Amino acid sequence: DALDPERLIQCPYNKYHQIRACRFPYHLVKCRKSYPEVAKELATCPFNARHLVPQAELSDHIKKCSDKSLIEQDIVNESSGSQREQMNAVSTWQAPPCDEDWET
């Protein structure tokens, strides 16, 4: 299951590292520092920062990325107007009166 936090994912920096999905983002940061030469050769997917692919394969990955459809769907939903109206709503919240006077 793709949403299982316990599933194992192979590290793009070292193929012998098998990391639980819930720890994967932290592991990427650590391994990027440990393998700077490999890090220079990898590119980050614009749709999911957990997708690190060789720079030469990035355009192919972008075409096939499973997260691309999620981003596209968000764009469609945003342009439908319902979310835009919610984002443009004016807040009526006001700060409570303050009795403190720092000058005294």
What residues does each domain of the chain span?
A: 8-67
pLDDT band at 3 (very low <50, low <70, confident <90, very high): confident
Question: Looking at residue 81, what is its pLDDT?
Answer: 62
Q: How is residue 51 written in tokens?
A: 């997708």
Q: Where are the beta strands (DSSP E) in 7-82?
A: 8-10, 18-20, 42-44, 52-54
Q: Per-residue pLDDT averaged across 13-39, rounded?
A: 96
Q: Quick one: CA dihedral 14, 19, 25, 27, positive or negative?
A: negative
What are 50-91's pLDDT values in tens digits? 999 999 999 999 999 988 888 777 777 777 665 556 666 777
Percentage of the chain modeled with pLDDT above 90:
59
CA-based nearest residue to 61, from 9, 28, 12:
12
Question: Looking at residue 84, what is its pLDDT?
Answer: 57
**Is 34 in contact with 13 (CB distance < 8 Å)?**
yes
